[in-house]
Chains A and B, each alone.
Chain A
């Protein structure tokens, strides 16, 4: 009988230990799960600086082909008036007519410059219609550790006209990111109300603004 009592006590003790271990294991799992959930919600905040921000009020913002001419080969466009610094490239069709233009440097002019083809003698000369307008240039540096997708960054002029950086920054990379220590030169055409005096940047709730030089 003494052995039976001992075995019975052992069973009771084992049962209580199993229950206790189940409780502890379940509690640990709950705490781990909670901590993981909360940790995953706490991302590092972006930290960045606006190194400079400049408004060019006479930048070439659009070049339309008025006459494509003929006898050209793919080449470069420059301005023949002013010293604003415009450059562009163009492509031609089978007859050597200019069919597309891409601006590589918008420059800055007091009046619309005359755009010409550089260093070619065509059969028939092309002509262009040039529009000038506001262009904002800025250098921004990621001084934190948060690697920011450009599609999460918004730029503003005078607190309005929000523009997604992912839509204006061309790096040739799909879904580009802004890495720690990296400086980006961003530029975009500003069609808002004149005069524009301030530039602001918003990234995941962190806002920074700068006056435009």
Chain B
């Protein structure tokens, strides 16, 4: 009986140690998973609160063919909640990037592109030879300023008609 009691006691202690170890591993794993979920959530929140939109009249996008290279002027609005970083702006016209020739001005004057401000974008290219009433595709990608350690990103695509 004494041997039986000792072996039962050993089994009990073993079970306690195993359950304690399993608990520790589970808690540790859950901590990692929780951190991953939190990071994922913050990234998705940043994307959800970052929004870029065309502003103005898509039928009347100004195109100046009197200068070389020709220039196109349009306006983008911060329609999200996070401040956007105009330095990250990438513009494509008919699928071709014009990133190297972008001039961006925040309206009205201000240091930050907040949700009440517009960005006047002037892009140019020596390869353009558009005419009045030509239709083309304009795309833009922008990221937000870093908020809580994360940047959101949004894209905008629109068909516009040029007004020369």
Contacts and interface: CB of A to CB of B under 8 A. Distances in A.
Do chains A and B stick together as partners? yes
Interface stretch (B44-52, B84-92, B93-101, B132-140): B44-52
B41 A19 contact: no
Nearest to A20: B26
Interface string B6-21: 0011011001100110
Interface in A12-68: 12, 15-16, 18-19, 22-23, 26, 30, 33-34, 37-38, 40-42
Interface in A151-210: 151-152, 154, 156, 158-160, 162, 164, 166-167, 198, 200, 202, 204-207, 209
Contact of A162 (B26, B44, B107): B107
Nearest to B13: A8
A160 B55 CA distance: 10
B23 A41 contact: no
Contact of A1 (B9, B45, B62, B163): B9
B27 A158 contact: no
B112 interface: no
A174 to B, nearest CB: 15
A154 to B, nearest CB: 6
B130 to A, nearest CB: 15
Contacts of B163: 158-159
B100 to A, nearest CB: 24
Interface residues of B, number: 48
A33 B99 CA distance: 37
B157 interface: no
Interface in B112-137: 115-116, 118, 120
A167 to B, nearest CB: 8
B149 interface: no
A41 B30 contact: no
A11 interface: yes
B77 A202 contact: yes
- Interface centre among B59, B74, B116, by most chain A C-beta atoms within 10 angstroms, is B116
B55 A202 contact: yes
Contact of A12 (B15, B55, B56, B58): B15
Given A30-B37, A159-B163, A205 B79 contact: yes
Nearest to A160: B62
A152 B116 contact: yes
Contacts of A18: 23
Contacts of A42: 48
27 contacts: A1-B9, A5-B11, A8-B12, A8-B15, A15-B20, A23-B30, A34-B44, A37-B44, A152-B116, A154-B56, A154-B77, A156-B56, A156-B75, A159-B56, A160-B56, A160-B62, A162-B56, A162-B118, A162-B120, A164-B107, A198-B60, A200-B56, A202-B75, A205-B51, A209-B57, A209-B58, A209-B60
Given A23-B30, A152-B116, A200-B60, 15 more contacts: A1-B8, A4-B9, A8-B16, A12-B16, A19-B23, A22-B30, A34-B41, A37-B41, A156-B55, A200-B57, A202-B75, A204-B77, A205-B79, A206-B53, A207-B58
